[in-house]
């Protein structure tokens, strides 16, 4: 199964370093995609989803050295990731930086911040128990598994409801899975839980369709 890894940096040199780093890993399932930061945050977020990236790896200071871009970038890598995960909860994202102290202090999750120097010398990781690229792929696998398992369980419970065998606990679980998938797929069109109707089959069917669409993209590029 392919992994579409989007790397975002304002310097072309680091685009090359990232592609070299991926090539060094000798993992044929990785498709590296490099991009410059867009002029607006919304444009950048749109690109992430338009190209069906499986994971985002962003530089922290996206406006630091503007030799290869002509525009100002009014957001940093942490702000980008925060906004991506507001739309898709749990979507795999990482920040690479030479300014790890600043990034860690400003991040809500220190586990997503990694030292950028590994891109300059991939061999430095050879003695490590777990490489950065391994963590990236594992996070993608975890996200895919979460979507797949939630979708399957929701389908089973909906079928149980159709047969008239759903319990009160089952109905509660349907609501939980509904909200989980909604957060993971796209929260921009979210409906407050207190306004949802458990019997809204069309909404549930649409959530399942969207989950299928995302998982189908993974299979199509595998």
Distance of CA 99 to the CA centre of its chain: 23
Neighbours of 126 (CB within 10 A): 8
Closest CA to 50 of 85, 14, 4: 4
Alpha helix (H) ranges present in 51-193? 77-87, 100-106, 132-162, 168-185
Please state, in angstroms and rounded to a whole number, the distance separating the CA atoms of residues 78 and 41: 11
Residues 58 and 84: beta-carbon distance below 8 Å: no
Residues 177 and 153: beta-carbon distance below 8 Å: yes
| pLDDT for the residue numbered 14 | 97
Q: Measured over all CA atoms, what is the biggest interatomic distance in the chain, rounded to whole angstroms?
A: 64
At the topology level, CATH places domain 3-140 in Rossmann fold (3.40.50)
Q: What pTM value is reported for the model? A: 0.83
Kindly tell me the number of DSSP H helices and DSSP E strands found in the chain.
7, 5
Domain ranges (residues) in the chain: 3-140, 142-220
Q: Which residues of the chain have pLDDT under 50?
A: 191-192, 194-199, 221-222
- For residue range 195-215, what is the model confidence (pLDDT) as tens digits? 444 445 666 677 677 777 777
């Amino acid at each position: 199964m392919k992994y579409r890894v989007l790397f975002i940096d304002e310097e072309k040199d680091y685009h090359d370093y990232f592609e070299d780093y991926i090539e060094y890993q000798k993992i044929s399932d990785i498709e590296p995609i490099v991009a410059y930061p867009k002029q607006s945050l919304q444009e950048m977020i749109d690109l992430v989803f338009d190209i069906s990236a499986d994971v985002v790896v962003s530089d922290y200071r996206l406006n630091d050295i503007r030799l290869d871009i002509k525009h100002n970038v009014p957001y940093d890598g942490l702000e980008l990731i925060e906004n991506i995960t507001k739309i898709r909860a749990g979507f795999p994202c990482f920040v690479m930086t030479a300014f790890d102290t600043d990034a860690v202090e400003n991040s809500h999750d220190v586990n997503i911040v990694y030292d950028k120097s590994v891109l300059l010398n991939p061999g430095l990781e050879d003695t490590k128990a777990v490489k950065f690229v391994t963590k990236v792929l594992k996070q993608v696998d975890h996200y895919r598994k979460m979507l797949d398992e939630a979708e399957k369980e929701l389908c089973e419970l909906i079928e149980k409801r159709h047969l008239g065998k759903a319990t009160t606990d089952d109905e509660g679980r349907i609501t939980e899975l509904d909200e989980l998938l909604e957060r993971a797929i796209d929260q921009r069109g979210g409906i407050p839980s207190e306004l949802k109707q458990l019997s809204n089959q069309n909404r549930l069917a649409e959530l399942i369709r969207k989950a299928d669409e995302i998982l189908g993209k993974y299979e199509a590029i595998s």
